[in-house]
Amino acid sequence: MQINGDARKAQTYDAIVIGSGISGGWAAKELCDKGLKTLVLERGKAVKHLKDYPTATKAPWEFPYREQLSADIKSKNPIVDRCYAFDDTTEHFFVKDEEHPYIQEKPFDWIRGYQEGGKSLLWARNVQRWSKYEFEAPARDGFAVDWPISYEDLAPWYSHVEIFAGISGNRDGIEHLPDSEVLPPFELNCVEKHIQQKMAEKYNGDRPVIIGRCAHLTEPQEIHLKQGRGKCMARHLCHRGCPFGAYFSSNSSTLPWAAKTGNLTMQTNAVVHSIIYDEAKGKAVGVVVIDSETKESKEYYANIIFVNAACLNTNLILMNSKSNRFPNGLGNDSGTLGKYVGFHNYRGNILADMDGFEDGYYSGRRPTSAFMPSFRNVYEQDAEFLRGYMVAFSASRKGWGRAAGEMGFGESMKKKMTTPGAWQVFMMMQGETVPKEENHVRLSDTETDQWGIPKLITSVGYDENDEKILADFLEQGTAMLEAAGCTNIRSWDTGQAPGLDIHEMGGVRMGKDSKTSMLNKWNQLHHCKNVFVTDGAAMTSYGNQNPSLTFMAITARAADYAAEQMKKGEL
């Protein structure tokens, strides 16, 4: 039941942002900066920078299982336990399997972080711009639908978010991996530099090796100091929450910045049930929220609504927002809502030994690795599959793992662990998947969660193209390591389910034609223009780069437009 009078006025804002993760934090920051009274709804608990990072400065011996999880927790959480970052130091930031159940029609590992800041506390922090070749790929190669924006549209917004967030890296001059606004880079170690040289020689510069660009402050600038953030100490304990604010998160950056404007209201434990559509006004007017603890329902109202609940939950909310005008979900005249959901293919791994270099070492725990941009199907179709893959690799001393697996203590153990030894190289792929209608999510007709909301059904899988990309990576990666002089090369298919990459995208895609897409070039729903979607759900295709930087840039661009349109009285 909708409320009226003073009670409704007290629950009315200029804008509502659903979700406080990477894209939701950016929406809040931009809207508040432009003077809009903004309510951010977060379904999880409050997490304040510094105060709510309980494990950030703990030593390994302060954990009962030396940072490992108990057998009980692991047995109860087979899905989230597959995530590389889920351990005794971070488990409080992850959604446990029983806390928000869903239905897997096909195997899909849905990794979630329900708290203020969302998964921005847990992300891997690698950031690469898309190039024009990613935005042009669907039109050129004949899949999905055309993007309604180009690299040129997004380039100034990439710069906008990079300067504020802080990105370390080089200006590498690679056409299909455009340069970012960068702080000083982390360094490749001696083995990685050797591989870099060998790749340049063998492939005539067509397979450049670079240090990964990552959202870490190597040399904080004035804008970062104003945020209260400091320099990265290369501890690589980032998933616990950084006490220095050295890596970018909503908690350390965008949300505190928004709060300082006086325009932000943060409401946690607020599960969004649906968006309210007013048929007389022909627009959305608010949202229905369920308190995650009391299960009480409440409504909030606004002129603008940004849906940034993270890809699959954004799809869920829109599908559950039904009305006479939109019986199949808000804005879903095209019938594409929940369809064309994609991810990144991470299944290929390679491990090798590298002889020599025993007089070289490295300092600290660098928070990124070496990267090689995609070299398949970039400028034209040159392989028997569509699109391509990035390669990430790192070289490290084998001694740490060897000593840690042996019995011992005291001086002899310390000597084993600190004496330089042999090197190994680990390589992995990040492959683009091609949007397919059958890869979809939908709502259950019979099962609901503990908040009375239909459970999400995931039906997302691999196809023949994904298998061909995997095979190509394993072949090419092995050949590259052989050319670099590696030995004892072992490659394998992890067999992991989609979702474990934590890069799910699509379902509410952008497009030029309202008959085949959900969103226009400003990320507005074609048929409900005061609702914006700017998280991963909005992606038309998926590239092979890490996607979060693109989510940030798209969000900042859309928020700027939304604020401008509202002030003109157009929304």
Taking only the tens place, the pLDDT of each residue in 82-110 is: 999 999 999 999 999 999 999 999 999 99
CA distance 174 to 16: 39
How much is the pLDDT for 7?
A: 60
Give the span between the Cα atoms of 253 and 165, in whole angstroms. Answer: 7
**Amino acid at site 316:** L
Query: Across residues 132-140, what is the average pLDDT?
Result: 96
Tokens of 244: 């220095």
**Predicted confidence band of residue 407 (pLDDT cuts 50, 70, 90):** low
Identify the band that residue 9 occupies on the pLDDT scale cut at 50, 70 and 90.
confident
**Distance (Å, rounded) from C-alpha 101 to C-alpha 97?**
6
pLDDT digits (tens, 9 = 90+) for 174-213: 999 999 999 999 999 999 999 999 999 999 999 999 999 9
Amino acid occupying residue 87: D
What is the reported pLDDT for 5? 63
Query: What pLDDT was estimated at residue 8?
Result: 82
Contacts of range 546-550, beta carbons closer than 8 Å, 24 or more positions apart: 546/124, 546/126, 546/127, 546/128, 546/430, 546/503, 547/503, 547/505, 548/22, 548/123, 548/127, 549/127, 549/128, 549/129, 549/158, 549/161, 549/162, 549/180, 549/215, 550/129, 550/130, 550/154
Q: Is the pLDDT of residue 544 over 70?
A: yes
Strand partners, 86: none
Over range 395-413, report the average pLDDT: 68
What is the model's pLDDT at position 416? Answer: 72
- pLDDT value, residue 4: 60
Average pLDDT over residues 455-480: 98
Mean pLDDT of 238-267: 98
- The pLDDT of residue 562 is 98
Q: What is the pairing mode between strands 440-448 and 454-459? A: antiparallel
Of residues 229, 245, 440, the one with CA closest to residue 337: 440
Question: What pTM did the predictor assign?
Answer: 0.96
Compute the mean pLDDT over every residue in the chain, rounded to the nearest whole number: 95
Residue 323: Cβ-neighbour burial (10 angstroms; 0-12, 13-18, 19+):
middle
Instruction: Say whether pLDDT at 121 is over 60.
Output: yes
Report the CATH architecture of 5-126+241-343+438-461+504-567: 3-Layer(bba) Sandwich (3.50)
Among 103-117, 319-333, 413-427, 447-461, the least confident range: 413-427
Q: Tokens 């590696």 map to which residue?
A: 486
Whether 6 has a pLDDT exceeding 70, the answer reads no
> Which pLDDT band, with edges at 50, 70 and 90, does 443 fall under?
very high
pLDDT over 90 (residue 491): yes
Q: Are 86 and 14 in contact, with CB atoms under 8 Å apart?
A: no
pLDDT in tens, 281-330: 999 999 999 999 999 999 999 999 999 999 999 999 999 999 999 999 99
pLDDT for residue 399? 60
